[in-house]
């Protein structure tokens, strides 16, 4: 071990200095495995073209060229090849747009990834700090514990009950026990090297200290050249559904266009290649090509918005699932509450002490009920004037800990480094003059049994100044009471009677009823080596306050309005949990709370039958979380579940939306989660659900918009060519509308501001399709209205047209381009009338429609483009007619909405 440290040139008590880290970083490079090669710009740009729709468009352009070449007469180049050039231009514009959107989505995802990049705790310049894992260098002193990713290859120097899961490296999924003191031979296989930990593995038990020996590509994982499992590009169910939906429309449209072609051939009078061009382009034009790209960008932008609010989505899938969440299973400590603990009461030797002071500030007093304050003793005095039981209790509180208190340089307030529960106990000890630093002078730590949520206790064995081993134990009262056989009083230690137990329990219940978290403190002199936690002496209990987080009460109210049920799953005592639930107005009449042990006696059927009445699961183990998720899943709920420990990972994976804590959570929990909360706050989950709902709505809005506008085009073409036998809008005109003028409003609908009423509605049923029967009826209705308005121009041509079919077609073109721009405003709500939509104005949509209208006007008004788009100058009255007919879609849809609303009431 010394050899390794000497070789790496590091003093384990101080770690490396900042300067030395810089030197080594320059020599060894960043601790990062090489990124997988990215696709080049050109490959990605051309990738946009390798899509059946674009290929069909290219086919259409080719046919257009053939048509141009075979057209006789002396028309200009633009008139002959205008269609082909324009189709090609549209293909290029579409490819560039797709490329830009893809890059933006990718950049957004990359930014999110870096927000959840792994970090490492290292000792540098004598202090433990958290650094980005890629800044580690050989020689860095690592502190690792259960739940951490191992950030580099490292030699263990110290281990406490340590085990790592090394499947990524050895293929062996059972945890490998590690012991820093074991000897190792050079030729030992990786799986058996019990003094080493490796990059890409995770710590599943215990904690340890290690010195980094290799980073980046020098690590075992780097040498194998394998990447750590990165999340593969996944398509969300929504995208998959859209793709298959798109394919079905493609076939339907190809069928219709074949019919159109056959009809034209039977009727005769037109060249076959012209008909073919029309048929192919019609098919392509009737398909909403923009859909997948707009969906991806909407999801990606939504993720960015969520990230700004502190909810980092790790899987695209979560964005759409979030909107359907109907149950949130949440932790209590740190999520609903601040996890800023302050001890308010101590009960020792059957005396109750009130504790004054705020936060982790060690200024404050302990005051026995009915007597003057126990004065703050000098910091160095371990043997002060405290009553003996209280003295032992405070000393145990100061020793059984991994936390430390320090003053924050920025805020000048005291803060805890480590577990807040332990911080509260350190503060308490300091208030009684038993600061950790002074108590530790006379004790040497020999062993530790770390805290774990399932054991609900922690023990530190020390050697005191008399050379005796003493076990210092703290944990939940229910667990410790069963381990204690004696009780300490100021008159001496004696066997614990049932009456003693009842008195302590009664005091604890009182504290719990005041929403205090109760911890018991015990010790044992000369504990047994096998089990230092048996036959303990109870020193007393403490009750600590953990105030609710700001904003949580409001978030709970929002969930109630939104039909989302909140269930508290906590390791804490049921009485404390209920008291906090009441404080937060989470607890309502008829609610029930059960404990983990009651839960373990219930059958699955019983659990399911009671599940919707159970508000609190207290004293649960991580394994039981999985049962709870499954019970709600079986009841067809969409479940979001929060968690932070290693043991929570299976439940996080099993929930529809696993939510991990960004600050206090372990790497393992974060890796298993779909959503990571940067601020660990429950209110942020609710914000994310709000955003998820609005994104889903927006996707529904633009799909409805695109499909219904396309239906309008399809009906127009169909009626004009089939029924009237006249010239329908040209393929280019249809493409123009479909890809150019409709694109922006669809994108704008994707970022439509959320309707404040969203969180007043019930969650959407988990199995509901994207569009319902009513929406499809709406698509058909809009298609008929828009299509017939355009066809009406052919049937009742305005006088000024003098029967010129080309002129009528140009009017129909403008009508079909402008009508969707009006229609888009109706699409903001499926039921609310256009004047009662909230917020009333959507700026992005207004801007998008104005730009689209302006772009269309360019095609109509610029003389050079007229031959390409087959447009003509129109008189004022014709403009009025076209705009009037375009606008007609608004009242038509309003009538439909009014009927829907009337039927719903």
> 402-419: string of b/e by CB count within 10 Å (b at 16+)?
bbebeeeeeeeebbbeeb
Write out the binding residues for ligand ATP, residues 53-72 only, by CB under 6 A. Answer: none
SS (H, E, C) 534-565: CCEEEEEEEEEECCECCCHHHHHHHHHHCCCE
Nearer to ligand ATP, 61 or 426 (CB): 426
Burial of 723 (0-12, 13-18, 19+ CB in 10 A): exposed
- Residue 710 CB, nearest approach to ligand ATP (Å): 51
- Residue 555 CB, nearest approach to ligand ATP (Å): 16
β-pairing, 469-475 vs 457-463, is antiparallel
Task: Decide: is 519 part of the binding site for ligand ATP (CB under 6 A).
Answer: yes
Nearer to ligand ATP, 159 or 570 (CB): 570
Nearer to ligand ATP, 456 or 690 (CB): 456
Nearest CA to 759 out of 811, 713, 694 is that of: 694
Task: Decide: is 476 part of the binding site for ligand ATP (CB under 6 A).
Answer: yes
Q: What distance in Å separates the CA atoms of residue 898 and residue 665, rounded to the nearest whole number?
A: 50
Interface stretch with ligand ATP, choices 30-38, 331-339, 824-832, 894-902 (CB under 6 A): 331-339
Residue of 422, 507, 648, 667 interacting with ligand ATP (CB under 6 A): 422
Residue closest to ligand ATP (Cβ): 571
Q: Which residue has the tokens 């302050």?
A: 342
Task: Decide: is 511 part of the binding site for ligand ATP (CB under 6 A).
Answer: no
Phi then psi dihedrals of residue 73, to 5 deg: 105, 175
- Residue 161 CB, nearest approach to ligand ATP (Å): 15
Residue of 123, 205, 314, 332 interacting with ligand ATP (CB under 6 A): 332
Nearer to ligand ATP, 403 or 793 (CB): 403
- Residue 356 CB, nearest approach to ligand ATP (Å): 23
Task: Decide: is 524 part of the binding site for ligand ATP (CB under 6 A).
Answer: no
Interface stretch with ligand ATP, choices 4-12, 419-427, 723-731, 768-776 (CB under 6 A): 419-427
Task: Decide: is 419 part of the binding site for ligand ATP (CB under 6 A).
Answer: yes
Q: What distance in Å separates the CA atoms of residue 399 and residue 662, rounded to the nearest whole number?
A: 29
> 425-442: string of b/e by CB count within 10 Å (b at 16+)?
bbbbbbbbbbbbebbbee
DSSP secondary structure letter of residue 753: P
> In angstroms, what is the C-alpha Rg of the chain?
35
**Which structure tokens are listed for 294?**
């707009």
- Residue 517 CB, nearest approach to ligand ATP (Å): 6
Task: Decide: is 615 part of the binding site for ligand ATP (CB under 6 A).
Answer: no
Nearer to ligand ATP, 400 or 786 (CB): 400
- CB within 8 Å of 382: residues ≥ 6 apart: 395, 434, 438, 439, 441, 442
Interface stretch with ligand ATP, choices 61-69, 283-291, 306-314, 326-334 (CB under 6 A): 326-334
Nearer to ligand ATP, 154 or 397 (CB): 397
> 7-16: string of b/e by CB count within 10 Å (b at 16+)?
ebebebeebb
Q: What distance in Å separates the CA atoms of residue 618 and residue 595, rounded to the nearest whole number?
A: 5
8 A C-beta contact, residue 215 and residue 21 = no
Nearer to ligand ATP, 420 or 731 (CB): 420
**Which structure tokens are listed for 789?**
């308005």
Is 530 designated active site? no
- Residue 497 CB, nearest approach to ligand ATP (Å): 24
Task: Decide: is 667 part of the binding site for ligand ATP (CB under 6 A).
Answer: no
Q: Which residue has the tokens 């939504």?
A: 302
8 A C-beta contact, residue 678 and residue 313 = no
Task: Decide: is 522 part of the binding site for ligand ATP (CB under 6 A).
Answer: no
Q: What distance in Å separates the CA atoms of residue 533 and residue 473, rounded to the nearest whole number?
A: 7
Residue of 570, 664, 681, 733 interacting with ligand ATP (CB under 6 A): 570
Residue of 134, 320, 572, 752 interacting with ligand ATP (CB under 6 A): 572
- Residue 420 CB, nearest approach to ligand ATP (Å): 9
Task: Decide: is 532 part of the binding site for ligand ATP (CB under 6 A).
Answer: no
Nearer to ligand ATP, 517 or 549 (CB): 517
Nearer to ligand ATP, 682 or 825 (CB): 682
DSSP secondary structure letter of residue 314: S
Residue of 288, 433, 475, 763 interacting with ligand ATP (CB under 6 A): 475
- Residue 560 CB, nearest approach to ligand ATP (Å): 20
8 A C-beta contact, residue 571 and residue 456 = yes
**Which structure tokens are listed for 379?**
């910091």
Task: Decide: is 421 part of the binding site for ligand ATP (CB under 6 A).
Answer: yes
- Residue 610 CB, nearest approach to ligand ATP (Å): 21
Nearer to ligand ATP, 85 or 458 (CB): 458
Q: What distance in Å separates the CA atoms of residue 846 and residue 839, rounded to the nearest whole number?
A: 13
- Residue 646 CB, nearest approach to ligand ATP (Å): 12
Nearer to ligand ATP, 101 or 684 (CB): 684
Write out the binding residues for ligand ATP, residues 336-395 only, by CB under 6 A. Answer: none
Write out the binding residues for ligand ATP, residues 451-470 only, by CB under 6 A. Answer: 451, 453, 456-458
Task: Decide: is 625 part of the binding site for ligand ATP (CB under 6 A).
Answer: no
Task: Decide: is 472 part of the binding site for ligand ATP (CB under 6 A).
Answer: no
Mask: binding to ligand ATP, 95-124, rule CB under 6 A, as x and -? ------------------------------
Residue of 352, 443, 474, 549 interacting with ligand ATP (CB under 6 A): 474
- Residue 485, H or E segment: strand 484-489
DSSP secondary structure letter of residue 218: G
Q: Which residue has the tokens 């239906």?
A: 711
Task: Decide: is 523 part of the binding site for ligand ATP (CB under 6 A).
Answer: no
Interface stretch with ligand ATP, choices 253-261, 328-336, 340-348, 808-816 (CB under 6 A): 328-336
8 A C-beta contact, residue 101 and residue 48 = no
SS3 assignment, position 447: strand
8 A C-beta contact, residue 484 and residue 496 = yes
Task: Decide: is 141 part of the binding site for ligand ATP (CB under 6 A).
Answer: no
8 A C-beta contact, residue 436 and residue 429 = yes
- Residue 491 CB, nearest approach to ligand ATP (Å): 28
- Residue 95, H or E segment: helix 77-115
- Number of chain residues interacting with ligand ATP (CB under 6 A): 20
Q: What distance in Å separates the CA atoms of residue 628 and residue 593, rounded to the nearest whole number?
A: 13
Residue of 165, 220, 331, 687 interacting with ligand ATP (CB under 6 A): 331
> 672-689: string of b/e by CB count within 10 Å (b at 16+)?
bbbbbbbebbbbbbbbbb
Residue of 101, 326, 333, 742 interacting with ligand ATP (CB under 6 A): 333
> Between 272-286 and 237-267, two packed helices, what is the crossing angle to 10 degrees?
160
- Residue 398 CB, nearest approach to ligand ATP (Å): 13
- Residue 458 CB, nearest approach to ligand ATP (Å): 4
Nearer to ligand ATP, 256 or 616 (CB): 616
- CB within 8 Å of 96: residues ≥ 6 apart: 45, 48
- CB within 8 Å of 640: residues ≥ 6 apart: 322, 325, 327, 328, 329, 655, 656, 657, 658, 659, 675, 685, 689
Catalytic residue among 83, 140, 148, 331: 331
Task: List the catalytic residues.
Answer: 331
Task: Give the residues lining the site for ligand ATP (CB under 6 A).
Answer: 331-334, 419, 421-422, 451, 453, 456-458, 474-476, 517, 519, 570-572
């Amino acid at each position: 071990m010394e050899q390794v440290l000497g070789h790496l040139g590091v003093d384990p008590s101080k770690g490396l200095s900042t300067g030395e880290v810089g030197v080594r970083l320059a020599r060894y490079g960043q601790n990062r495995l090489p990124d997988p090669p990215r696709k080049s710009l050109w490959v990605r740009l051309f990738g946009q073209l390798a899509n059946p729709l674009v290929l069909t468009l290219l086919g259409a352009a080719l046919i257009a060229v053939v048509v141009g070449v075979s057209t006789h007469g002396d028309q200009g180049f633009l008139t002959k090849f205008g269609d082909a050039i324009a189709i090609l231009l549209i293909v290029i514009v579409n490819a560039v747009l797709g490329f830009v959107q893809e890059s933006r989505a990718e950049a957004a995802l990359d930014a999110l990834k870096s927000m959840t990049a792994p970090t490492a705790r290292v000792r540098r310049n004598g202090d433990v700090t958290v650094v980005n894992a890629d800044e580690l260098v050989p020689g860095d002193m690592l502190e690792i514990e259960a739940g951490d990713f191992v950030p580099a290859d490292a030699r263990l120097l110290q281990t406490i009950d340590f085990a790592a899961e090394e499947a990524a490296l050895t293929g062996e999924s059972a945890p490998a026990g590690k012991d820093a003191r074991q000897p190792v031979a050079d030729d030992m296989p990786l799986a058996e090297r019990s003094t080493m930990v490796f990059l890409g593995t995770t710590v599943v038990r215990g904690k340890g200290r290690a010195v980094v020996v290799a980073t980046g590509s020098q690590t075992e994982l780097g040498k194998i050249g394998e990447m750590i499992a990165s999340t593969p590009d996944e398509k969300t169910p929504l995208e998959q559904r859209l793709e298959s939906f798109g394919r079905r429309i493609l076939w339907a449209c190809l069928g219709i266009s074949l019919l159109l072609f056959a009809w034209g051939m039977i009727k005769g009078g037109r060249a076959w290649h012209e008909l073919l061009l029309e048929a192919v382009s019609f098919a392509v034009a009737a398909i909403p090509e923009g859909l997948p790209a707009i969906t991806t960008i909407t999801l990606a932008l939504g993720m960015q918005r969520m990230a700004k609010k502190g909810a980092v989505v790790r899987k695209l899938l979560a964005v759409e699932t979030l909107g359907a969440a109907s149950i949130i299973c949440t932790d209590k400590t740190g999520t609903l509450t601040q996890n800023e603990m302050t001890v308010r009461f101590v009960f020792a030797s059957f005396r109750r002490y009130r504790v004054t002071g705020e936060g982790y500030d060690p200024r404050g007093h302990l005051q026995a009920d009915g007597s003057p304050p126990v004065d703050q003793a000098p910091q160095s005095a371990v043997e002060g004037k405290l009553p003996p039981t209280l003295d032992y209790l405070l000393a145990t509180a100061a020793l059984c800990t991994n936390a430390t208190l320090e003053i924050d340089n920025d805020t000048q307030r005291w803060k805890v480094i480590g577990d807040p529960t332990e911080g509260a106990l350190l503060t308490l000890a300091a208030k009684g003059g038993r600061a950790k630093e002074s108590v530790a002078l006379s004790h040497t730590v020999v062993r530790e049994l770390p805290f774990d949520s399932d054991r609900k206790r922690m023990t530190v064995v020390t050697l005191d100044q008399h050379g005796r081993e003493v076990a210092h134990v703290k944990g939940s009262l229910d667990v410790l009471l069963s381990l204690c056989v004696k009780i300490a009083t100021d008159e001496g230690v004696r066997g614990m009677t049932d009456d003693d137990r009842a008195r302590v329990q009664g005091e604890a219940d009182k504290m719990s009823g005041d929403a205090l978290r109760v911890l018991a403190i015990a010790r044992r002199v000369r504990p047994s080596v096998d089990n230092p936690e048996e036959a303990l002496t109870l020193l007393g209990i403490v009750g600590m306050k953990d105030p609710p987080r700001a904003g949580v009460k409001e978030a709970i109210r929002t969930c109630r309005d939104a039909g989302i049920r909140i269930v508290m799953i906590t390791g804490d005592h049921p009485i404390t949990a209920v008291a906090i639930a009441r404080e937060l107005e989470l607890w309502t009449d008829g609610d029930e709370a059960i404990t983990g042990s009651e839960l373990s006696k219930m059958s699955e059927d019983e659990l399911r039958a009671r599940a919707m009445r159970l508000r609190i699961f207290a004293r649960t183990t991580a394994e039981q979380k999985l049962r709870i998720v499954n019970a709600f899943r079986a009841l067809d709920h969409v479940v979001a579940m929060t968690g932070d420990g290693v043991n929570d990972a299976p439940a996080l994976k099993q929930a529809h939306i696993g939510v991990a804590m960004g600050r206090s959570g372990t790497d393992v929990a974060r890796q298993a989660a779909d959503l990571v909360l940067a601020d660990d706050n429950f209110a942020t989950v609710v914000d994310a659900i709000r955003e998820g709902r609005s994104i889903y709505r927006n996707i529904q809005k633009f799909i409805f918009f695109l499909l219904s506008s396309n239906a309008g085009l399809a009906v127009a073409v169909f009626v004009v060519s089939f029924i009237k036998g006249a010239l329908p809008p040209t393929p280019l005109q249809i493409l123009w509308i479909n890809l150019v003028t409709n694109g922006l409003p669809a994108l704008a609908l994707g970022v439509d501001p959320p309707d404040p009423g969203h969180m007043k509605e019930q969650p959407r049923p988990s199995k509901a399709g994207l569009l319902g029967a009513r929406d499809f009826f709406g698509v058909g209705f809009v298609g008929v209205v828009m299509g017939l308005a355009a066809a009406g121009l052919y049937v009742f041509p305005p006088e000024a047209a003098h029967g010129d079919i080309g002129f009528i077609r140009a009017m129909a073109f403008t009508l079909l381009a402008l009508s969707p721009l009006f229609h888009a405003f109706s699409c903001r709500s499926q039921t609310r009338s256009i004047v009662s939509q909230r917020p009333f104005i959507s700026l992005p949509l207004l801007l998008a429609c104005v730009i689209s209208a302006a772009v269309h006007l360019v095609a109509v008004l610029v003389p050079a483009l007229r031959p390409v788009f087959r447009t003509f100058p129109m008189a004022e009255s014709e403009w009025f007619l076209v705009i009037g007919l375009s606008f007609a879609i608004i009242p038509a849809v309003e009538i439909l909405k009014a009927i829907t609303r009337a039927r719903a009431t």
